[in-house]
């Protein structure tokens, strides 16, 4: 016997169609449905740029030019990093910027399948239950969580959990300070802004687990590095960062 939810699915989808018609939420013209995150094929082709080599072996910053060997960028040489590597699925194009902004700040959760699919498509090339043990989302401060009503990093991490079978742990690290938004800050200011921003909140330390730290976007890596430091200090065997998008450090 079909479950009640299965029986009601056509009616639920019909009701959603009244509020979210099957049209792209970017160009407002072409067909796009809920499964595609309401982004049409044309906008996807035009606005999504998956990050391919060459890029920094530590922070994943894309290098524009020809490089035949693995390298570490000058940005990474100047700071103490607490993650082994950081990777992003796509570049921070105008489309990705608009989608993430509306998703985070305008509660445009219909974009979530689009963002999750992008992250999973890239991350699954290197992330599996054979290579990693835990998925941990970057936490939000309780004040921001109340304002936004959801943590975008946790929702993206949950999708990666389903795709990989790696368990997600959301309560290991807490955001202790309601830090300023990083958007307008320089690289040096971002690092200072994130100092002591996180704390260990679990009862017991980790025992060498290999952690995938998930967020929506990485720019200088200050947020991820600060959170990775807490994980490292509390028993993580390694920390790998994965984000949907990567912006360039200022």
- Tens-digit pLDDT profile for the chain (250 aa)? 445 655 655 554 445 555 557 899 999 999 999 889 999 999 999 999 999 999 999 999 988 777 667 788 888 888 899 999 999 999 999 999 999 999 999 999 999 999 999 999 999 999 999 999 999 999 999 999 999 999 999 999 999 999 999 999 999 999 987 765 656 566 677 667 667 889 999 999 999 999 999 999 999 899 999 999 999 999 999 999 999 999 876 5
For residue 11, tell me if it sits in a domain.
Answer: no
Cβ atoms 195, 225 nearer than 8 A: no
Cβ atoms 216, 202 nearer than 8 A: no
Domain count, the chain: 1
For residue 10, tell me if it sits in a domain.
Answer: no
Look up the CATH number of the domain holding residue 185.
Answer: 3.40.50
Domain of residue 91: give its range.
21-246
What is the reported pTM?
Answer: 0.86
Rounded Cα distance between 55 and 87, Å, is 9
For residue 197, tell me if it sits in a domain.
Answer: yes
Instruction: Name the DSSP letter for residue 221.
Output: S
For residue 15, tell me if it sits in a domain.
Answer: no
Its sign, for the CA torsion 90, 46, 98, 163, is negative
For residue 147, tell me if it sits in a domain.
Answer: yes
DSSP H or E run through 210: strand 210-218
Instruction: Name the DSSP letter for residue 167.
Output: P
For residue 51, tell me if it sits in a domain.
Answer: yes
Q: What is the pLDDT of residues 94-105, one digit of tens each?
A: 999 999 999 999
User: If we measure between CA atoms, which residue out of 236, 235, 239, 212 comes closest to residue 225?
Assistant: 239
Q: What is the pLDDT of residues 197-213, one digit of tens each?
A: 899 999 999 999 999 99
For residue 239, tell me if it sits in a domain.
Answer: yes
Tally of CB atoms within 10 A around 167: 11
């Amino acid at each position: 016997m079909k479950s009640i939810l299965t029986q009601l699915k056509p009616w639920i989808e019909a009701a959603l169609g009244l509020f979210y018609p099957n049209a792209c939420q970017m160009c407002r013209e072409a067909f796009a449905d809920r499964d595609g995150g309401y982004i049409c094929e044309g906008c996807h082709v035009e606005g999504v740029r998956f990050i391919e080599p060459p890029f920094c072996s530590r922070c994943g910053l894309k290098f524009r030019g020809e490089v035949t060997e693995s390298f570490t960028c000058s940005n990474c040489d100047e700071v103490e990093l607490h993650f082994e590597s950081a990777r992003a699925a796509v570049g921070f194009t105008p489309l990705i910027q608009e989608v993430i902004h509306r998703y985070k700040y305008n509660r445009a959760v219909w974009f979530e399948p689009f963002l999750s699919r992008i992250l999973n498509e890239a991350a699954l090339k290197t992330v599996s239950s054979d290579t990693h043990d835990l998925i941990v989302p970057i936490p939000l401060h309780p004040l921001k969580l109340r304002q936004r009503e959801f943590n975008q990093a946790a929702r993206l991490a949950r999708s990666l959990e389903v795709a990989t079978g790696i368990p997600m742990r959301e309560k290991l690290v807490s955001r202790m300070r309601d830090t300023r938004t990083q958007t307008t800050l320089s690289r040096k200011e971002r690092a200072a802004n994130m100092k002591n921003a996180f704390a260990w909140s679990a009862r017991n330390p980790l025992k060498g687990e290999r952690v995938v730290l998930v967020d929506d976007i990485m720019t200088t890596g200050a947020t991820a590095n600060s959170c990775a430091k807490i994980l490292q200090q509390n028993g993580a065997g390694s920390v790998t960062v994965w984000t949907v998008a990567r912006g360039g450090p200022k």
